[in-house]
């Protein structure tokens, strides 16, 4: 598990990602033009998550996708969460 300092330093390089203390993970909301765009994004994230063998907690409502990353087996945020968040951000470029 990352220390608070390590986590905060990593989040500084991930725009819009924040620490959710209540769920002990990092979170971000993504908004798209419509449901199709949101679902396409979720499909791309699912493929990256499967490659990393690290899966998000997420939800989708129409054009919005909310993602929370936490390594449950470690009890909080790890390098795996930061790496997957970075891959997710790369999908938007």
Return the pLDDT at 32.
98
Q: What confidence tens digit (pLDDT) does each residue in 53-74 have? A: 999 999 999 999 999 999 999 9
- Where would I find the beta strands (DSSP E) of 1-93? 18-20, 25-31, 57-61, 64-69
Return the pLDDT at 31.
98
Q: Give the angle subtended at the CA of 79 by the CAs of 77 and 80, to the nearest 5°.
A: 85
| Domain 4-91 CATH (choose: 3.10.20.30, 3.40.1020.10, 3.10.129.10, 3.30.1360.20) | 3.30.1360.20
Q: What confidence tens digit (pLDDT) does each residue in 73-88 have? A: 999 999 999 999 999 9
Beta pairing class for 25-31 and 64-69: antiparallel
Q: What confidence tens digit (pLDDT) does each residue in 18-57 have? A: 999 999 999 999 999 999 999 999 999 999 999 999 999 9
Please state the domain extents for the chain.
4-91
């Amino acid at each position: 598990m990352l220390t608070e300092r390590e986590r905060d330093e990593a989040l500084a390089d991930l725009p819009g990602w924040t620490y959710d203390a209540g769920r002990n993970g990092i979170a971000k909301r993504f908004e798209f033009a419509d449901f199709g765009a949101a679902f396409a994004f979720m499909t791309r994230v699912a493929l990256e998550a499967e490659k990393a063998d690290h899966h998000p907690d997420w939800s989708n409502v129409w054009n919005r996708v909310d993602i929370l990353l936490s390594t449950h087996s470690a009890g909080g945020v790890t390098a795996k969460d930061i790496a997957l968040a970075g891959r997710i951000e790369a999908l938007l470029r």
